[in-house]
């Protein structure tokens, strides 16, 4: 926490990107206050209106206000990607810690499963899993978790293998420390900063993959105002109503850029190797 506070004071990029991330969450939370229209209410007489004073981002095929749908879409997209990253972080880090600390058959089983998952093209496997489970945001999160946890497991395992050879860990073992105590008091605190940095840096990429599944029909389903789904709904009218893809695409682009910048600056703040 002290590093974060000092980072906000000393690192301008981290401070600015943190404010932008905070602004994204405020927009998502306060979407009802900023949205001029109901994002799912259809008004057929207003279908395909180009951007104007009443509908600054235009309307879609059902006459729904695109600006309102993008604001509400921040809720779906941000909540979905944060849930995804949190699940991948927990599953991958937990398996990596168990594999690295206990070793033996446990390590062999987890790493062989990891090798098997890595051998498949990630996005194609995610599409297959999501297709079997059925189209929904939760199923898309499950599918991407299945193909993405291996990165965190391998990273956590490699760090645990290094840390458990340190003198302070061996001293704790000699003094009768139980495995649970050693894990929580000595190993987890030492690997957590780098794992958090990795998760923060992956938010942008995970948002792209989650939006990609929604675009293909395996994520959020109509009438949810999710950005990837909005791109899918607007692709057939790209020539006649380009705003249906331009504005959701810009929302995804800006959000991914903000999280990528925040992840990079967070690494500079938390990575102990940056310290003198």
The answer to whether 269 touches 1, Cβ cutoff 8 Å, is no
| pLDDT reported for residue 123 | 86
Other beta carbons within 10 angstroms of residue 173's beta carbon come to: 13
How crowded is residue 155: how many other Cβ atoms within 10 Å of its Cβ? 18
Whether 51 is covered by a domain: the verdict is no
Domain of 203? 79-248
Q: Per the domain annotation, does 257 fall within a domain?
A: no
Residue 180 lies in a domain: yes
66 in any annotated domain: no
Q: Give, as one character, the DSSP assignment of residue 242.
A: T
pLDDT given at position 223:
87
Q: Quick check: pTM over 0.85?
A: yes
Q: Give the pLDDT confidence score for residue 273 in this predicted structure.
A: 54
pLDDT along the chain (276 residues), means of 10: 69 88 93 90 89 92 93 91 94 92 89 88 89 90 92 92 83 79 84 89 91 90 89 88 93 94 85 50
Residue-wise pLDDT tens digits, 34-82: 889 999 888 889 899 999 989 999 999 999 999 999 999 998 889 999 9
pLDDT value at residue 153 = 93
- Report the CATH number that the domain containing residue 174 is assigned in CATH: 1.10.3720.10
What would the 3-class secondary structure string for the chain be? CHHHHHHHHHCHHHHHHHHHHHHHHHHHHCHHHHCCCCCCCCCHHHCCCCCCCCCCCCECCCCCEHHHHHHHHHHHHHHHHHHHHHHHHHHHHHHHHHHHHHCHHHHHHHHHHHHHHHCCCHHHHHHHHHHHHCCCHHHHHHHHHHHHHHHHHHHHHHHHHHHCCCHHHHHHHHCCCCHHHHHHHHHHHHHHHHHHHHHHHHHHHHHHHHHHHHHCCCCCCCCCCCHHHHHHHHHHHCCCCCHHHHHHHHHHHHHHHHHHHHHHHHHHHHCHHHCC
**Number of domains comprising the chain:** 1
Q: Is residue 140 part of a domain?
A: yes
Residue 102 forms part of a structural domain: yes
Q: Say if 45 falls within a structural domain.
A: no
- Residue pair 66/227 in contact by the 8 Å Cβ criterion: no
**Whole-number pLDDT of residue 3:** 65
* 62 found inside a domain: no
pLDDT at 2: 64
């Amino acid at each position: 926490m002290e590093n974060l506070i000092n980072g906000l004071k000393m690192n301008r990029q981290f401070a600015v990107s943190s404010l932008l991330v905070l602004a994204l969450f405020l927009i998502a939370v306060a979407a009802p206050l900023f949205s001029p229209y109901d994002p799912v209410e259809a008004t057929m007489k207003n279908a395909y209106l180009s951007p104007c004073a009443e509908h600054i981002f235009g309307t879609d095929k059902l006459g729904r206000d695109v600006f309102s749908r993008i604001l509400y879409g921040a809720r779906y997209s941000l909540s979905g990607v944060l849930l995804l990253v949190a699940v991948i972080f927990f599953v991958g880090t937990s398996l990596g810690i168990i594999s690295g600390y206990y070793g033996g058959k446990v390590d062999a089983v987890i790493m062989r499963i990891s090798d098997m998952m890595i051998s498949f093209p990630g996005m194609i496997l995610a599409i297959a899993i999501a297709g079997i489970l059925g189209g929904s945001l939760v199923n898309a999160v499950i599918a991407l978790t299945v193909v993405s946890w291996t990165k965190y497991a391998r990273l956590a395992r490699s760090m645990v293998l290094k840390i458990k050879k340190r003198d302070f860990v061996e001293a704790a073992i000699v003094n009768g420390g139980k495995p649970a105590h050693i894990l929580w008091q000595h190993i987890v605190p030492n690997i957590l900063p780098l794992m958090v940095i990795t998760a923060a840096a992956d938010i942008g990429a995970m948002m792209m993959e989650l939006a990609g599944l929604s675009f293909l029909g395996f994520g959020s389903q109509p009438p949810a105002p999710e950005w990837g789904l909005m791109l899918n709904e607007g692709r057939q009218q790209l020539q006649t109503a380009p705003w249906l893809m331009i504005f959701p695409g810009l929302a995804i682009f800006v959000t991914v850029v903000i999280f990528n910048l925040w992840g990079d600056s967070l690494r500079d703040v938390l990575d102990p190797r940056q310290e003198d």
